[in-house]
Amino acid sequence: MRIDGTSALVAGGASGLGEATVRALHAAGASTTIADLDSERGAALTAELGDRSGFCRTDVTDGDSVRAAVDVAAAQPGGLRIAVCCAGIGWAQRVAGRNGPHDQAAFEKVVAVNLVGTFNVIRLAASAMMAVEALPSGERGVIVNTASIAAYDGQIGQIAYSASKGGIVGMTLPAARDLAASGIRVCTIAPGTFDTPLLGLLPEAAREALGQAVPFPPRLGRPHEYADLALQIVSNEMLNGAVIRLDGALRMPPR
């Protein structure tokens, strides 16, 4: 898939991994639609990038909200051919403890944002991609999801987060098979510990310790490294139905 001259939607594109991906896609010549709840950051990024960039305030748990963002992206020159979903939240709580059982509403919220939100982006972006003309190779579009190594190495207190990310891993192959006849590829990136705004809230010593736990390179991942892989998935036609760990060989301990 050639990126230059296409339209790309990035859910969760106002910060962190999503922002890095928006910047990379825009630099490669795509028209970028940033779908995010953070209107302030989304508008600022759009203003900075200028031409070929737009923002839609989007709640990924709401199908109508995602559809509106997809419609904006689909109306851009070249039609919607690239969709990346980086929208997600976390929650830390044990299944049961001194304060009682895990909060059900919190579990459902994490699953709604991370798993159902990703499903909404997949299904609605794919529907729009089906409407564009196939390229000479037969390809119409590429969808990149974001899981986490917590899908495999969930730590203490990560049951909600791990369940939601494990669901994204589980959706990847069937989604790719469902959409293969339409020339739409689906892959998922499972990042390790990355230097995102969420980790930016931790003390520097804690951030350093997280980075040192990575076998090599012994540091936190950089958002542009996620973006680089997302663009490689878009460009490499043989990448389909795959979940790729991006973690420096890190395997998370229990805590």
Answer yes or no: is pLDDT of 144 > 90: yes
What does the alpha-carbon distance between residue 58 and residue 69 come to, in Å, rounded to a whole number? 7
| Percentage of the chain lying above the pLDDT 70 cut | 100
CA distances from residue 142 to 1, 88, 104, 179, 216 in whole angstroms, order as listed: 8, 20, 34, 10, 30
Answer yes or no: is pLDDT of 201 > 80: no
Question: Which pLDDT value is given to residue 16?
Answer: 96
CB 149 within 8 A of CB 192: yes
Give the pLDDT band (50/70/90) at residue 93.
Answer: very high
Answer yes or no: is pLDDT of 14 > 90: yes
Please identify which of the residues 55, 161, 194, 226 carries the catalytic annotation: 161
Place of tokens 């059982």: 101
Answer yes or no: is pLDDT of 124 > 80: yes
Please, where are the H alpha helices in 130-220? Answer: 150-153, 159-179, 204-212
Annotated active-site residue 152? The verdict is: no
Answer yes or no: is pLDDT of 15 > 90: yes
What does the alpha-carbon distance between residue 100 and residue 128 come to, in Å, rounded to a whole number? 45
Full-model pTM: 0.96
What does the alpha-carbon distance between residue 209 and residue 105 come to, in Å, rounded to a whole number? 32
- As to burial, measured by CB atoms within 10 angstroms (0-12 exposed, 13-18 middle, 19+ buried), residue 41 is middle
Domains observed in the chain: 7-88+115-156+164-197+223-246 (3.40.50.720)
What does the alpha-carbon distance between residue 43 and residue 24 come to, in Å, rounded to a whole number? 17
Q: pLDDT digits over 46-92, tens only?
A: 999 999 999 999 999 999 999 999 999 999 999 999 999 999 999 99
Question: Which pLDDT value is given to residue 198?
Answer: 75
CB 231 within 8 A of CB 25: yes
3-state secondary structure (DSSP) of residue 219? coil
Question: Which pLDDT value is given to residue 137?
Answer: 95
Give the pLDDT band (50/70/90) at residue 127.
Answer: very high
What does the alpha-carbon distance between residue 231 and residue 82 come to, in Å, rounded to a whole number? 10
Give the pLDDT band (50/70/90) at residue 219.
Answer: very high
